[in-house]
A and B are shown apart, each in its own frame.
Chain A
Amino acid sequence: MTKTKKIDPSKRAERISWMLVTPLSCVLGFFLLLPILTIVTVSFWDFNEWSFFPDFILDNYVYHLTSAVTWATYLKTLKFMVLTWIFCAGVGFTVAYFLAFHVRSLPVQVALFLVCTIPFWTSNIIRMISWIPFLGRNGIANSSLISLGVIDEPLEWLLYSDFAVVLAFVHLYALFMVVPIFNTMMRIDKSLIEAARDAGASGLQVLTNVIIPLAKPGIMIGSIFVVTLVMGDFITVRHMSGGQSASVGRIISNEIALLQYPAAAASSVVLLCTVLLMIGVMMRFVDIRKEL
């Protein structure tokens, strides 16, 4: 008893904190940190048709970085990312703005917010599949356009195209913009807006000079989600382009399918560095800990 009393209370508190985070650290250590270290290690290994083995070669990187396909694929992935980001940000901001400033009762706000978030808890793959009857050659979009007389022939680029990929991305990830932007907007002091109005600002000026600057952290957090999800994606691109479009994630998944693990590891390291670089830049504009 006397022994425990001697322990400085702040040290005791620290020890309790450590005990509390030990299981968490173990999980993240073994299933996140160690896998990444393994990928980095294996990226220097050699492989043949049936196995891979320890070595220290740079061939995997040289091959990946000097291939024209890689660069074209990065360009394509960036195109998907930028387009998805623009649409998600536009849609997400508008929806969040409507919910936060135009819906006046809290229960209605919460209900409509839930309507926007429920799809997030359902299967992405099902949500992708569900575009087939809409966009297909004989789908709803084509048949209604034909019956309206807008087009004579069904549009071929609706499904299995870059258009379909971006559409699916926006469909899947717009929520990741709505939620954080709505969250920051709800914390904007309404009296600031009144003050701006009293000072003679028009609706548009209130939006650009008060709301957008104050909602920036939410926009940033949403952007971080959208950027990382699109950059690492391989199923949406494969599924919605009908296998015709490439993405960085697909390069990796193809190499995995061919059991070229060291090559896949090298491509993964390059992808990870690219994503971390982008996030690093975006994190400069927002302090996530403050936004919780």
Chain B
Amino acid sequence: MEPRSRSFYVLSAFFALFVIFLYGPVITIGILSFQGPKGGLTFPMNGVSLHWFYDLFEQQAVGDIWGSFRRSFALGLMVMSVTVVLSVMGGMAFRRKFRGSSMLFYLIIASLIVPSILVSLGVGLIFNILDLEVHWATSGFGSQLTWTLPFGLLIMFAVFNRFDKSYEEAARDLGATPWQTVRHVVLPIIAPMLIGVALFGFTLSYDEFARTLLTAGSYNTLPLEIFGMTTNVTSPVLYALGTLTTVFSFFIIGTFLTIVVFMRKRQAKSGTDAGSGLV
């Protein structure tokens, strides 16, 4: 190997600064959320305490944090499941060209580039005109799907672009029906990537703000609740909440990534476990 050039060290320093830029602020509020009861929104620390975390658990102190957390969590799971299922189905369909496929493809891209506030406004208007009540589990759910589905589908397109068709041919030669081929060959091979799609589905929904703004109705999701707090709460309780949700996000990301690593390892160990169900 050739020795490291000087530009390597310059770029390493740049990368390190970028990482500090990415994580520094979040770490700062993480520290400040342990501010003493008399402390303010900035340094210096006025003692160290769990005061602001206790505050969060007292319902009256701030809005309906726990209710909104439960709703966001449930919505995240709903969006995640639907995103995974529809992305796999869409990914499989797009392996062949079919009539209307390029139009649908552009619709998927459009879903990504249409400003979120337009989706929010449009869905809100439809429900308003049809005299339906907006609710996070109906209008909010659908609006969030327009943000998570394109990510899921683009990942699946990339996965199937690299998919080795000979596995399927082998299964077919052995007499597998199309459904058996999908169930026992295709799905096990793409399983780790499905966890990736699920990660996108859950986290993007859990943090979504603009598309839920006009479509969540009278029961807020967590990001809406937090945004409401930013305008009227000026104590470190905001940081405590920010720290908790970020820790929760890290926990979710860590769980999903661990599952991916675990699945990859298992696949590597047994070659591919495709077909084991057929025997």
Cβ-defined partner of A264 (8 Å) among B92, B111, B121, B252: B121
Q: Verify if A195 is at the interface (C-beta below 8 Å from B).
A: no
Interface contact A17-B22, CB-CB below 8 Å:
no
The reply to whether B15 and A112 contact each other, CB–CB distance below 8 Å, is: yes
Please report which residues of chain A, range 202-223, place their CB below 8 angstroms from some CB of chain B when the two chains form the complex: 203
Q: Which residues of A contact B113 (CB under 8 A)?
A: 224, 228, 275-276, 279
Is residue A289 within 8 Å, beta carbon to beta carbon, of the partner chain?
A: yes
Instruction: Judge whether A95 and B14 touch: CB under 8 Å.
Output: yes
Give per-residue flags for B96-129: 1 if the beta carbon is below 8 A from chain A beta carbons, else 0: 1011110011011111111111110111011011
- Chain A interface residue count, Cβ-Cβ cutoff 8 angstroms: 81
Expressed in whole angstroms, the Cα–Cα distance for A130 and B96 within the complex equals 46
**Set of chain B residues within 8 Å of A114, measured between Cβ atoms:** 257
| B21 & A127 in contact (Cβ 8 Å cutoff) | no
B115 A272 Cβ-Cβ under 8 A:
yes
Given contacts A131-B25, A275-B113, are A28 and B121 in contact (CB under 8 A)?
no
Residue A143 CB within 8 A of the other chain: yes
Whether A145 sits at the interface, judged by CB under 8 Å, is: no
Does A268 lie within 8 Å of B158, measured CB to CB? no
- CB distance B114 to A32 under 8 Å? yes
Q: When the two chains form their complex, are residues A129 and B238 in contact, meaning their CB atoms are under 8 A apart?
A: yes
Q: Given A95-B18, A125-B209, A139-B42, A32 and B253 touching (CB < 8 A)?
A: no
In this complex, the member of B21, B82, B114, B226 whose beta carbon has the largest number of chain A beta carbons within 10 angstroms is B114
Binds A, one of B55-63, B138-146, B184-192: B138-146
B17 to chain A, nearest CB (A): 10
Any chain B CB within 8 A of the CB of A190? no
Given contacts A35-B122, A268-B121, contact A28 B15 (CB under 8 A): no
A106 within 8 A of B: no
Decide: A239 and B230 in contact? CB cutoff 8 A. Answer: yes
A130-B240 Cα distance, complex, nearest whole Å? 11
Q: Which residue on chain B has the smallest CB distance to residue A139?
A: B42
Q: By the criterion CB–CB under 8 Å, are B115 and A275 in contact?
A: yes
Count A-B pairs with CB separation below 8 Å: 247
Q: How far is the CB of A174 from chain B (nearest CB, A)?
A: 8
Interface residues of B in 58-115 (CB under 8 A from A): 82, 86, 89-90, 92-94, 96, 98-101, 104-105, 107-115
Q: Are B109 and A288 in contact (CB under 8 A)?
A: yes
Chain B contacts for A140, CB-based, 8 A: 28, 42-43
Expressed in whole angstroms, the minimum distance between the Cβ of A279 and any Cβ of chain B is 6
B11 x A97 contact (CB < 8 A):
yes
Q: Output the residue of A28, A91, A271 with the most chain B CB within 10 A.
A: A28
Q: Is the CB of A134 within 8 A of B24?
A: yes
- Asked if B245 is an interface residue, CB under 8 A from chain A, the answer is yes
Cβ-defined contact, B226 with A123, below 8 A: yes
CB-defined contacts of B19 to chain A, threshold 8 Å? 115-116
Nearest CB on A from B195, distance (A): 13
Q: What residue of chain A has the Cβ atom nearest to residue B144's Cβ?
A: A31
Q: Which residues of A contact B (CB under 8 A)?
A: 13-14, 16-18, 20-21, 23-25, 27-28, 30-36, 38-39, 42, 91, 94-95, 97-99, 102, 104, 112, 114-116, 118-119, 121-127, 129-134, 136, 138-140, 143, 171, 174, 203, 224-225, 228, 231-232, 234-235, 239, 249, 252-253, 256, 261, 264-265, 268, 271-272, 275-276, 279, 288-289, 292
Q: List 20 A-B contacts (CB under 8 A).
A: A17-B94, A32-B119, A35-B121, A35-B126, A36-B114, A98-B14, A102-B12, A121-B200, A121-B207, A122-B246, A129-B226, A130-B26, A132-B41, A133-B239, A203-B7, A234-B117, A235-B209, A256-B121, A265-B125, A272-B114
**Which 4 residue pairs of A and B lie closest in terms of their CB atoms, listed nearest first?**
A35-B122, A232-B115, A130-B25, A20-B93
Beyond A35-B126, A272-B118, 7 additional contacts (C-beta under 8 Å) are A20-B90, A38-B129, A98-B11, A115-B19, A116-B22, A203-B5, A292-B154
Q: Which residues of B contact A (CB under 8 A)?
A: 1, 5, 7-8, 11-12, 14-15, 18-19, 21-26, 28-29, 32, 41-43, 82, 86, 89-90, 92-94, 96, 98-101, 104-105, 107-119, 121-123, 125-126, 128-129, 142-143, 145-146, 149, 153-154, 157-158, 161, 199-200, 203-204, 206-207, 209-210, 213-214, 223, 226-227, 230, 238-239, 242, 245-246, 249-250, 252-253, 257
